[in-house]
Amino acid sequence: MTDPSTPLIAVEHVDKWFGSLHVLRDVNLDVRRGEVVVVVGPSGSGKSTLCRVINRIEPIDSGVIRVDGRPLPAEGRALARLRADVGMVFQQFNLFSHRSILDNVTLGPVKVRGIPREQARRRARELLARVGIADQADKMPAQLSGGQQQRAAIARALAMDPKVLLFDEPTSALDPEMINEVLDVMTTLAGDGMTMVVVTHEMGFARRAADRVVFMADGQLLEQAPPTDFFDHPRTDRARDFLSKVLTH
């Protein structure tokens, strides 16, 4: 499926409950190749869940999700193969705490892609240099700052040569002075044409890097528009209310 007109990610009529809580309500979203989609919205709006259902880290209750035209398979080898093509960056970094930074980056390429270890290491060092932490390669995750850990996590995701990168609130667990070093890496990736879905509270990043901003509230996808339209002319009351709260300072 390399037809460039097929959306890389298609979320169709997706519903999800956590117990009695309806966290995703009939959500529809297409992400095209090379597009950067930034998902914003108040806490508890379901935006993080939306990000996590795309590679089935969270299963959905109804609807269809297609990646590169193919519906997500059930848990098993086929799903694992598909996840290899969908990179994910987590709020809490989730670097493998028992492995060095370099080994974090090479694990996927070596075990999933079957790339020879030496080749994977060379590539990992290149990627670590690209995110600005080449000199941290041989340290353990706990020895790095939060910003460095998150950049290492981005390098780990990039090492799989993913078709798309999912970012689940990548800067929400960071001290303020480290947020920009991560956002700068993400902005560069966006400029390089990487397809990205970014859940974030960083409105500056959304304005700067997004092709499209998606606004969610109460599990519903209420608006989607280019950033200038969304920030300057929000159409729904919920979006206006949300923006008035986050853009005042």
Partner 1 sequence: MNGVDFLADSLPVFWAGFRITVLLALASYAGALILGAVLAVLRISPAAPARAAGLAYVEWFRNVPLLVHLFVAILCLPKLGVRIGPFTAAFLVLAMYTAAQVCEALRSGVNAVPRGQAEAGRALGLTFGQNLRHVILPQAARTVVPPLGSVFIALVKNTAVASLIGVVDLTYQFGELARDEPGQVMTLLVAVAFGYLVMTIPAGYAVARLQRRAAVAR
Binding site for partner 1 (CB under 8 A): 55, 57, 75, 77, 80-88, 90, 92, 94-98, 107-108, 111-112, 140, 142, 153, 156-157, 160
* Residue number, 92 or 244, with CB nearest to partner 1: 92
Three-state SS string over the chain comes to CCCCCCCCEEEEEEEEEECCEEEEEEEEEEECCCCEEEEECCCCCCHHHHHHHCCCCCCCCEEEEEECCEECCCCCHHHHHHHHCEEEECCCCCCCCCCCHHHHHHHHHHHCCCCCHHHHHHHHHHHHHHCCCHHHCCCCHHHCCHHHHHHHHHHHHHCCCCCEEEEECCCCCCCHHHHHHHHHHHHHHHHCCCEEEEECCCHHHHHHHCCEEEEEECCEEEEEECHHHHHHCCCCHHHHHHHHHHCCC
Min dist CB 229 to partner 1, Å, is: 32
Report helix angle 101-111 to 146-158, nearest 10.
Answer: 20
Min dist CB 203 to partner 1, Å, is: 26
Min dist CB 71 to partner 1, Å, is: 17
* Residue number, 57 or 243, with CB nearest to partner 1: 57
* Residue number, 93 or 215, with CB nearest to partner 1: 93
* Residue number, 147 or 227, with CB nearest to partner 1: 147
- Euclidean distance between CA atoms 103 and 124, whole angstroms: 9
Min dist CB 246 to partner 1, Å, is: 26
* Residue number, 149 or 203, with CB nearest to partner 1: 149
Min dist CB 83 to partner 1, Å, is: 5
* Residue number, 1 or 142, with CB nearest to partner 1: 142
Q: Tell the residue number behind the tokens 């609130």, with chain if given.
A: 169
Min dist CB 196 to partner 1, Å, is: 15
